[in-house]
Amino acid sequence: MADKTYLDWPFFDARHAALEQQLDAWASATLAPAHGRDVDDACRTLVRQLGAGGWLDHAVGSIDTRAICLIRETLARHDGLADFAFAMQGLGSGAISLFGSAANKERYLARVARGEAIAAFALSEPQAGSDVAAMQCAALRDGDDYVLNGEKTWISNGGIADFYVVFARTGEAPGARGISAFIVDAATPGLSVAERIEVIAPHPLARLRFDGCRVPGSQRLGEAGQGFKVAMATLDVFRTSVAAAALGFARRAFDEAIAHASTRKMFGQTLADFQLTQARLAEMATGIDAAALLTYRAAWQRDQGRKVTKEAAMAKMTATETAQKVIDAALQMFGGMGVVSEHPVERLYREIRALRIYEGATEVQQLIIARELLREVVATAAPEGKG
């Protein structure tokens, strides 16, 4: 049983603790960590289950960051693919929740919440991952429409999504200031799945191609040239939730490790009786709590309406790197059993690795944190310099 004392922390309201308890019970009764070979079908089923359970209501519309984080942490502890399904419904529709017109919100968000429409977020390109300003996919204005040409890659839910939030260069200014965001329905002529991509923790992933793909101007999110702002505002919400998912993975690995260490007999005692094991468990537990404090600080601050660019980056970096270490330590405690395919810690070992890369690699988070710290120094020093 996972330690739930963190729910008493002042970051949370009583409704958050109740939400976690209800989801934990639902997940225990509904979810199975092992899925069949057809990952696309498994994701579709999970989206429908999450919608029917009412959990996707928390991923769309009025966003409660702490609720999203608690849901992701809880789902990740039970089933990594369920966490993925929930997260992508939120990330794929988040820009619509934040910047969509009333008509767009009405058309998409209710279907996403019910699990009837699968969402996706299409930002990365073959030569523009962390460097968004290098984006080449273009959207040219043609009357009341935009015509998209180019490619997107590493797109989660690629191939099964019903619509994509796509970022493309519209040219109002150089670099990141000349990008706009669009909702593109999967059936739109000119949009095709160029390649399905297989990764170590299977989930739907694809490279998309846009070839004369015509999108009505009413499908643009925010103003022309505002796409970078749309993307960053969306990622600020869900970057913190990536940290929460990593926490869920880490907590599950820690639970598995401490249960195993307490029962595994070695040299006339249990594995937990060895001081080396105790030291490792202490490091794991401390790392998890430190990551949790950063994660829920960022979530709480965003729910207070504060800027969280630096705090979200700190949380994402610390939680994902810590989870990798915790899971590796847990696997080591299991020895040979830990590398057996579909063992819980083996699954966790595969699932955690991508979290250190997607939605901003650890190195990018370091750059973001340093940039924000230096901005704060300049902002603090500016009044004094004018005097």
Residues with active-site annotation: 359
Cα–Cα distances in Å, from 217 out to 172, 183, 239, 263?
A: 15, 10, 29, 62
β-strand partners of 122: 166
Please report which residue ranges of the chain form alpha helices under DSSP H. 14-30, 39-52, 65-78, 80-99, 102-114, 227-263, 275-303, 309-334, 344-353, 362-386
Check: CB of residue 323 under 8 Å from CB of residue 330.
Answer: no
Q: Which residue has the tokens 């990365």?
A: 124
Tokens 């529709």 correspond to 93
d(CA 61, CA 254): 34
The type of residue at 189 is P
196 three-state secondary structure:
strand
Say how far apart CA 336 and CA 186 lie, in whole Å. Answer: 44
Phi, psi for residue 154 in degrees, rounded to 5: 60, 40
What values do phi and psi take at 220, rounded to 5? -75, 140
- Alpha-carbon distance of 202 to 190, in angstroms, equals 27
Bridge partners, residue 195, by sequence:
207
